[in-house]
Structure 1
Amino acid sequence: MKLNVHERGSGDKVALLIHGGMADHRTWHAVEGRLVDRGYHVIAPDLRGHGLSGRGAYRTDLLADDLVETLPAGADIAIGHSLGGLSLALAAERLKPKRAVYSDPGFRLGGLSPEALDFMRAMVEQATPESVRTANPRWSEADTAAEVAGFSLFDPAFLESVATFDRAYLPASPAVPSLVQLADPSLTIDSSTAELLRERGFDITVVAGTGHCIHRDDLDGFIGSLEDWL
């Protein structure tokens, strides 16, 4: 499936930004600005079932196939958050970015409990600017607006499929030089899994004091942890 794509900047370097579940490309607005200032052309798709992209079957292999069909190969850097990290990992061998960053990646999303999925469903259905601000007091007003807008376009049927995702999936090795950037504490990667990823050849960094959406909790910390990768 060809995805809806947002682009910004005219630099010579290319950055791919792949959002997490229930969001869309707008989650990256502040990161985009920092990358454009550093000479990047930013390309940010909406995953299937999200934003203005199409709906359809929801499987991890199709999420990866969509990225390969939509995005250019050989980008200077590709960054995937949560579900976007999972999708990027599955597509990295074919997309072949020079570097990949997995931000609190959802490698084992299939392990989410029914209670967690119910909570996520309610969060989307009942979201207001006030509820998002209360849950995320460190976010900017633009971040809050982007979250509410993303929720409004998200296909709730996507959550019905998450339980079918491979709960055991973890990349066997990095397809390209790769950094796993973790929140503190990580929502998705526990300490033993982080150590296993390190043993498999991934670099690991932790952005202190952040929640799952590192780039919105602490933009400076997010960018600062990537200084050697940008």
Structure 2
Amino acid sequence: MKMIELFQWMSNRTIFRKRMITNKLEELYKSPFSFLFLYLFLYGFHCIWNWSEFMSFNRSLELDAIHSGKQISLWSLYPFQIVIVLLVFVLYWFISFSIIFFFSLGETNKEIFRTKNLPFFMSLVRQFFLFVCLLFVGNQILGLLQYLEFYSVLVVLFWFSLFLLFIIKNGDLYRRLFVSADHSTSFLSHSLGYVNPIVCVFVVLALANV
């Protein structure tokens, strides 16, 4: 009997631990920062795995800069390139927030925006880094196919499809969050979610060419 009781106790403990781990994983997944942490982990692992190659790449950039008499930006070197991604997110958030604030000057939209500030920020973090993770993993997979003749076509198709999906999901996010009490459709909830990512891309491209 003692053996049976011990076995049942161990079985119950195992089930309890599995449920606890499952609940923790679900909480982590539902966290607005889950994909940010996932991206940091993936990028860190990527840098560690390819450390010697990246150091050679850094030295090559530094030598080219010395020979050309130019200065090299710290953010173009590994592992500091991740700072660019974080800055792009800050810029994307700022542009989105500014445009929404401008279009929410009306009394109705202002009230909707005021009550949805925090959920909007949390959702934006989660969604942005979800697509950053998809882009990162997709680029790594595409890197294995770089010797194919149609590699450039695959890259363009992947990037375009991912950006199109990002625009659609962003529009869904705005339509879900910015809903008035009478469920009426406004520019803030209907169209602005599709506009913001496009505006942000143009701003990033403009800054990159400055």
Normalising by structure 2, report the TM-score.
0.23
Q: Which has the higher strand share?
A: 1
Q: Which has the higher helix share?
A: 2
Q: If you compute each CA radius of gyration, which structure gives the higher value, 1 or 2?
A: 2
Normalising by structure 1, report the TM-score.
0.22
